[in-house]
Amino acid sequence: MSDDRKLHSRRGALKCLAYGGAGTLFALSGGVFTPIDLARAATDKEGTARLGKPLFVQISDTHIGFNKEANPDVNGTLNQAIDLVNAMNDQPPLIIHTGDITHLSRPAEFDLAQQLFTRLRTSEMHTVPGEHDTSDPTVSEYFKRFGSVSGNKGYYSFDQAGVHFIGLINVLEFKPGGLGTLGEAQLAWVKDDLRGRSASTPLVVFAHMPLWTIYEPWGWGTGDLGALMSELKRFGSVTVLNGHIHQIVQKVEGNITFHTARSTAYPQPAAGLGEGPGPLKVASDELPKMLGVTSISEKKHPRSLSFSDATLA
């Protein structure tokens, strides 16, 4: 379900914010999303079996170190999100964190975040940094802890269950106006990494800033995404996962499915509603309905990935 048109009307946008309530399941088949009511899915055994085993969970924008009114307890809400993941009957083999692990790139924030992540039953986590993780003067704190897998470049790839995962970094340089940038070196590496791979290999590409243009005035996009898309479009199933905007926005374009995640820390306004992309204060009983994680499962026949977006309440 594309929310692009909804975002342009205030009423539509508010409906959009409220929609994420009890958890929505999107089944992807033949490139088309179909929403499935999660409550119905719980009793529909055959339906949930069709969804397949969870391949991984996406967590994003944990912002450890944030302590303002929009959420004075981001450690608490992260713990609730971890409890949600730990309660899954079938544990995913890995977790993907799409960045803004910390709020101010401070060593104590990174230390605390890593400590909290050890509570996850799934110990394998793959990360990419957000701009909040690379704001220390020497841009080294993130890489000290998470840089070895990519030789401190920030981009890398790996395989799991026949799916090829690519982690990208688009927060080191910015285009005027604020869009993220991949850069020549990284794009050349992607070309190299994908060369010779069968088009039937499912791809999962994850990065912090959206890899499609959601709202340019607020920097919600990546300036040089065109070169990346030309590399991806020959593949039969591509899933692009991003964070940064603290709300779910999705789009399907041909064989490519784009999905941004909720934050576990605080929501942000829908595109254009407000002065800027900052923390959105909501009533305290509304907050847990706007924070959450996403579980991605693989269906075998036809081979595709499906999403389950779950909220804390």
Provide, rounded to whole angstroms, the least separation between the CB of residue 150 and another protein.
Answer: 20
Asked if 275 touches another protein (CB under 8 A), the answer is yes
Asked if 219 touches another protein (CB under 8 A), the answer is yes
Among 50, 53, 153, 175, binds another protein (CB under 8 A): 175
Nearer to another protein, 74 or 125 (CB): 74
Give the range of 44-52, 77-85, 98-106, 252-260 binding another protein by CB under 8 A: 98-106
Provide, rounded to whole angstroms, the least separation between the CB of residue 266 and another protein.
Answer: 10
Asked if 99 touches another protein (CB under 8 A), the answer is no
Asked if 145 touches another protein (CB under 8 A), the answer is no
Give the range of 30-38, 168-176, 234-242, 245-253 binding another protein by CB under 8 A: 168-176
Provide, rounded to whole angstroms, the least separation between the CB of residue 259 and another protein.
Answer: 23
Asked if 136 touches another protein (CB under 8 A), the answer is yes
- Beta strands 304-311 and 292-299: pairing type? antiparallel
Using CB under 8 A as the binding rule, the residues of this chain from 44 to 73 that contact another protein are 68-70
Asked if 159 touches another protein (CB under 8 A), the answer is no
Nearer to another protein, 113 or 238 (CB): 113
The residues that touch another protein, with contacts defined as CB under 8 A, are 68-70, 103-106, 131-132, 134-137, 174-178, 217, 219, 275-279
